[in-house]
Amino acid sequence: MASSQKKTRIKANTPKGDYLRVIPMGGLDDVGMNCCLIECNGSMIMIDCGLTFPETDGYGIDVIVPDLSFVLDNLDMLDAVVLTHGHEDHIGALPVFLREVDVPIYGGRLTLAMVGRKLEETPLDGPVRMNPVEPGDRVKIGEFTVEFIHTNHSVPNAMSISIETPVGRLIFTGDWKLDQTPIGEPTMDLQRFAALGADGVLALLADSTNSGSPGFSKSEADVQEGLAAVLESAEGRVIVAQFSSNINRVQGMLELAEQFGRKVALQGRSMHNNFGLAEGLGFVKVPKNVLIDLYDVHKYPDDEILIISTGSQGEPRAALTRMAYGSHNKLDIKKTDTVVLSSRVIPGNERGIQTVINELTKRGATVITANDRPIHASGHAKRGEMKLLLNLIKPKHLIPMHGSYKMRSEHAKIAATVGVTSGLVIDNGDVLQFSGRGKPTVIERVHVGRIYVDGRSNAADIEDVQLRDRKALGFAGIIIAHVVVNRSSGAIVSGPDLMHRGFLNAEEEEMLPVASKFVRGSIEKMSASERRNSNQVSETIRQSLRRYFRKALDRKPVVIPIVHELSLIHI
């Protein structure tokens, strides 16, 4: 994320009096990569610093973060980063940003603990200045007085932010929902929002993700009732797959397990990490004698077991996927198992999820999704909740945040129905300025873009992902791996045959047969059902080839697996 040699500054003339600027750096036209700058009289704070993931094969790209070159060129103004909650799309870019910047971070205790866990694997020059805050705290940062307000979301410790400035007050909702019966935390502090509205709010910067969904979002208490019905009717083990950050849902399942006489085992690294952080900070209460180790599951009757797992999106190496293909080292799916997918489907994951569901069903498990029963609730406000908050706050202006242009324009239309006629639908990089009594205006645009992160290094700023792929091929080289698999039996018919371009020199090409044997061994370790899935085979080829050459040459090629499924018919 290196800054350009020539520093970029806002070219428009700075007003003589007080001024306030809103500069989104990410999260508009994206569902993810949320980041927004607030500037007032030469002082600047950054709200959130998130990432997003490649939608398709990233050719070595692990994550995508916003290009913050403009921020690096204006560090003399940046006074702090303020975080709304601990989801990756709001904190995930911090490890990249903090390699180059030493700036105080403000956020809830659990949010900062999640940031700290991410930073453990990031080489930094010194300790990060973490400043934990509680709902109701007011902090003076430069020209701003920042107040933190409790709200509900799908991760504990989520907060909205009130920002007082000489020009007026902004309220930044972050991700939120109105849950009147939450699990493990209080209800959203609507009284404080109403009080701030009575005092006057210049602009509301609000989440637009569910602006197209009518009504009100489902409560976590409703989800708990749905899960209770599953536990009551299940004859054997219940395996619930969910996002690891949804600790309040884990809390609800711990309470249900105690009610129905079941033991709970957690499965998945991120599940253990997030649960451990939340428990240590008091955000989750574990009933006595309910939690057990996964190794001890076999010591209890199946109808006394509840397993909470990662893998709800059908990720190739996730715990649930390995169970579905019979390759998990601790758990085998049984015909009496009930598997619950307690999460939304992230766009792009539909095929992987359906494949996992099919494999679980083949093994005899009963699979339940949100289409079957009320076992998931969104963490984002719907249209009814948006109207309620707008009526409470009564802002002069709405700035729709977080989501595609359609989501944000729909949010502006919702605001108009309750009398907030100034919906300012802006784009990433727009510099929206408030000054005096004039109408807020986009005075110019600053550079925004994407940084493609491969491990601990970032590629250059590239607007076109196709160009990024070509640069990656030129830098790393490519290996094409071709393998033929019997679609019926999962047996390897031939290969993998390896061909490279731009990766190995003449002396190194003798490594290809050895690499081929290494990859074949990795494929042969897969179960037969896994080998019948071309996506699983492709992922194994990609990972094993990159691992082999990383150890042998300290280089990682771009790997393109080609898996041909052959149907052999005996006549």
How do strand 263-267 and strand 305-309 relate by DSSP bridges? parallel
Q: Is residue 67 located within the same domain as residue 204? A: yes
Mean pLDDT calculated for residue range 13-25: 92
pLDDT over threshold 60, residue 554: yes
Mean pLDDT calculated for residue range 234-242: 95
pLDDT tens readout for residues 310-328: 988 888 778 898 889 888 8
Q: Is residue 196 located within the same domain as residue 230? A: no
Quote the crossing angle between the two packed helices 383-393 and 190-199, to the nearest 10°: 40
335 in Cβ contact with 363 (< 8 Å): yes
- State which residues form the domain around 406: 19-215+378-454
Split at pLDDT 50, 70, 90, the class of 458 is very low
Q: How far is CA 376 from CA 9, 44, 236, 344, 365, in A?
A: 45, 38, 21, 7, 20
Taking the C-alpha atoms of residue 509 and residue 487, their distance in angstroms, rounded to an integer, is 31
Q: Which residue has the tokens 């939120």?
A: 176
Tally of CB atoms within 10 A around 523: 21
Q: Is residue 48 located within the same domain as residue 156? A: yes
SS3 214: coil
Q: Is residue 204 located within the same domain as residue 237? A: no
Split at pLDDT 50, 70, 90, the class of 49 is very high
**Residue 461 confidence (pLDDT):** 40
Q: Is residue 174 located within the same domain as residue 232? A: no
Taking the C-alpha atoms of residue 453 and residue 53, their distance in angstroms, rounded to an integer, is 10
From the list 570, 559, 558, the residue with the least C-alpha distance to 483 is: 559
Q: Is residue 382 located within the same domain as residue 339? A: no
Q: Is residue 56 located within the same domain as residue 85? A: yes
Q: Which residue has the tokens 């007011």?
A: 138
pLDDT tens readout for residues 425-452: 999 999 999 987 778 999 999 999 888 7
pLDDT tens readout for residues 153-206: 999 999 999 999 999 999 999 999 999 999 999 999 999 999 999 999 999 999
Residue 463 lies in a domain: no
Mean pLDDT calculated for residue range 303-313: 93
Q: Which of 371-380 are b and which e, b meaning 16 or more Cβ less than 10 Å from the residue's Cβ?
A: eebebbbbbb
Residue 208, both tokens:
């637009």
Q: Is residue 224 located within the same domain as residue 211? A: no
Phi and psi at residue 526, to the nearest 5°:
-75, 155
The sign of the dihedral angle between the CA atoms of 138, 141, 146, 148 is negative
Residue 301 lies in a domain: yes
- For the question of residue 125 being annotated catalytic, the response is no
Mean pLDDT calculated for residue range 50-56: 76
Q: Is residue 271 located within the same domain as residue 186? A: no
Q: Which of 224-249 are b and which e, b meaning 16 or more Cβ less than 10 Å from the residue's Cβ?
A: bbbbbebbeebebbbbbbbbbbbbbb
pLDDT over threshold 70, residue 476: no
Question: Which residue among 207, 337, 430, 469 is the active-site one?
Answer: 207
Q: Is residue 151 located within the same domain as residue 242? A: no
Examine the fold and report which residue of 306, 339, 368 is the final residue of a domain before the chain moves on.
Answer: 368
Split at pLDDT 50, 70, 90, the class of 63 is confident
pLDDT over threshold 60, residue 388: yes
SS3 154: coil
330 in Cβ contact with 294 (< 8 Å): yes
Examine the fold and report which residue of 321, 348, 368 is the final residue of a domain before the chain moves on.
Answer: 368
Q: Is residue 91 located within the same domain as residue 172? A: yes
pLDDT over threshold 90, residue 286: yes
Q: Is residue 450 located within the same domain as residue 553? A: no
- For the question of residue 296 being annotated catalytic, the response is no
The sign of the dihedral angle between the CA atoms of 141, 142, 145, 149 is negative
Question: Which residue among 90, 380, 402, 500 is the active-site one?
Answer: 380
